[in-house]
Chain A
Amino acid sequence: MLSIKNLQASVDDKEILKGLNLEVKAGEVHAIMGPNGSGKSTLASVLAGKEAYEVTGGEVTLDGKDLLDLSPEDRAREGLFLAFQYPVEIPGVSNINFLKTAVNEIRAYKGLGPMEAKEFLKLVKEKQKLVEFDAKLANRSLNEGFSGGEKKRNEIFQLAMLEPKLAILDETDSGLDIDALRIVANGVNHLRSKNNAFIVITHYQRLLDYIVPDFVHVLYKGKIVKSGTKELALELEEKGYDWLKESVDAEENAAI
């Protein structure tokens, strides 16, 4: 599904990603962990196509299609979804109108006509229930005045509505209390299937108790420095990152 090879990216001439490799197959959940400033959110932004980030090398394909060549909207239409760490508030744009526009533009890209109003509302109801998203919130302005937890739940609601191939959750657990965390995780678990894949970016092992990953990767200094199974997350929780940092730094020094 997703193939990242030797990805290098910088922002304001500062190199952040320094040759990152990752293969994600359909049906898999990958967790990406790592200390602050290691490049986790940069990876999410680069994949989604945020303009401030400049890709200086490497390649990314989604089902064989060159992702880096596409505009952000076309990446989304190809089936990429980024759940934002900080969802944007847009007063005056209704949640439902926005979703209808998004759904129909994705359909148009695939050569399908707009969804019938009735069918759309049915889908909205069904997905609201699935991710326990309050119907009242769905009718409000996009994220305006939402609490942190409500914003994150709205991201998962949008995820459910758009049914992407690959979803990247960028620190979706940050700022969530235990109940909200459980609701968000349940939503994601309901949406998991053998046809889609998830990349879960997080600081804490806690989220991975609920969304159990197939693989865990540690990102440090713009590269994946260690990969393993869910046990790696537990080990990190226990030991922190220092032991990994030390070995990477030691290798770097040896190279010099």
Chain B
Amino acid sequence: MITQVSSSLYHQLVAFFEEELPLKGYQEPLGSIRKEAFARFKDSGFPSLKMEDWKYTNLQPLINQHYRLNDSIPGRNVNIDKAVIGGLDTYRLVLVNGHYRKDLSDTITDSGVVVCAIEDGVTEHEFLSHFAKYADRTDNPLVALNTALHEGGLYIHIGKNVTLKKSVQIIHVASADEAVFNQARNLFVLDENAEAEIIESFISNDHSVSLNNTVSELVLKEGARLQHYYLQVADEKSRYLNHTEVKQARHSLYNNYNCSFPGSSFIRNNINVRLDDTAVESHLYGVTLTAQDQLVDNHTIVDHRMPHCESYEWYKNIAQDTSTAVFNGKIFVQPDAQKTNAFQQNNNMLIGDKANIFTKPQLEIFADDVKCSHGCTMGQFDEDALFYLKARGVGEASARVLLVHAFAFDVTEKFSNTHVRAYVDSLIERGLVID
């Protein structure tokens, strides 16, 4: 069923795939994967408001326009100052409109580490046993579209027992002179007992509109540990559709810290964690501060498939002006996942008189010997607390900053990296609208 008959991007993509691609030609083995994925996308079309998971997030205005489907200036100059995190020394990897820019990136010299453009990853050992094996199992049409037509992205492989000496910072720059549709694809594989911290910053050099449909697949093998940050600081004209699929093996630990700030007008994050083995631990933390007409939608799935696993999720939303924040947290506890410990908390602060927050905790439990809890709150500034602070000489602006920091504190205190935490605190401060 084609649900988006009126989408000009849909027709553009279909025409592109069917008419131009045979000329360009995709080599096997990816060629058939792309074809099969495109058939799925062609069949489903873009998600519409009629779908439960897209109820509050209208793609129509985004897909109802014409985009360039590849970057017009591959070697363009970009400014990455906005992604700098004070005091933090990282291996910096820069992607411009999805394309890995070696000329702007650091070389990681640690042994046992492979970093390359996704198109060069195909020949790497193991690549094909993971690529499109996880995210494509979901029914997200945007994943199928990305699998079919992805261009750019990174392949990172961290070998057995390797602990990265420094954090890796991936800077995603959106930069366009005319409306561009980018579809980066990432695959990160951490071998047994590998340990890393990956910080992904999203920025833009905003000249024109960009729509970025990114899919990342992450594989954590036995005992691997990954700290994974998303820092969304792009500008108004850049729009994002991110899908992250994490597959975890025994004794692995995955921590995701997902932070969005005023800027980008449209952000949809899907973060799915599959606890596919016993004794797996996953933590999902989120801080979302929205302003103006922004929409930030975080959809997460924590999928407990095996016994003795633990998951912990805590998302905080602060909505200002006329912005909208959406949180949807699904926890599945499958029949085999006995002795599961799953915790979810979502707290919301509605500051703008015309701001919206939609939140939906969803627990589906099919095992009987589990501990699961969830909670959700909605509130505003505490007038008594504001008055208390003012009565000590603290002005309105500082008082609000203190209270919003306090609200976000439960989440920010969990950050493993103190520099990132300070950076996020300062972004919260800068992102607050004081009338």
Contacts and interface: CB of A to CB of B under 8 A. Distances in A.
Please name the 3 residue pairs, one residue from A and one from B, whose CB atoms are nearest each other, closest first: A92-B406, A92-B409, A76-B393
Given A90-B403, A91-B406, A84 B390 contact: no
Interface stretch (B178-186, B222-230, B394-402): B394-402
A139 interface: no
B388 interface: yes
Contact of A82 (B389, B391, B394): B391
Interface residues of A, number: 30
A141 to B, nearest CB: 8
A159 to B, nearest CB: 10
B84 to A, nearest CB: 25
Contacts of B392: 76, 81, 98-99, 102, 158, 162
A146 B383 CA distance: 20
A101 B390 contact: no
B324 to A, nearest CB: 25
A73 B409 contact: no
A49 B391 contact: yes
Given A73-B393, A92-B408, A98-B392, 13 more contacts: A49-B391, A51-B387, A71-B390, A73-B391, A76-B391, A81-B391, A90-B402, A92-B406, A92-B407, A93-B403, A98-B402, A102-B393, A105-B394
Interface of B: 382-385, 387-396, 398-399, 402-403, 405-410
Most buried by A among B390, B391, B402, B403: B391
A88 B393 contact: no
A206 interface: no
A51 B403 CA distance: 19
Contacts of A93: 402-403, 405-406
Contacts of B384: 88
Interface in A86-116: 87-88, 90-93, 97-99, 101-102, 105-106, 109
A19 interface: no
Interface string A36-59: 000000000000111100000000
B123 to A, nearest CB: 50
Nearest to A71: B390
A77 interface: yes
Contacts of B405: 92-93
Nearest to B384: A88
A35 interface: no
A105 B391 contact: no
A87 B388 contact: yes
Interface string A61-95: 00000000001110111000110100110111100
Most buried by A among B388, B398, B399: B388
Contact of B396 (A49, A73, A76, A92): A73
B130 to A, nearest CB: 40
A105 B393 contact: yes
A106 B393 CA distance: 6
Nearest to A86: B384
A204 B114 CA distance: 75
13 contacts: A71-B396, A73-B391, A73-B396, A75-B391, A77-B393, A88-B387, A90-B382, A92-B405, A101-B402, A102-B393, A105-B394, A158-B392, A162-B392
A98 B385 contact: no
Contacts of A76: 390-393
B391 A48 contact: yes
A98 B389 contact: yes
Contacts of A71: 390, 396
Contacts of A98: 389, 392, 394, 402
A205 B409 CA distance: 43
Contacts of B385: 88, 90
B393 A162 contact: yes
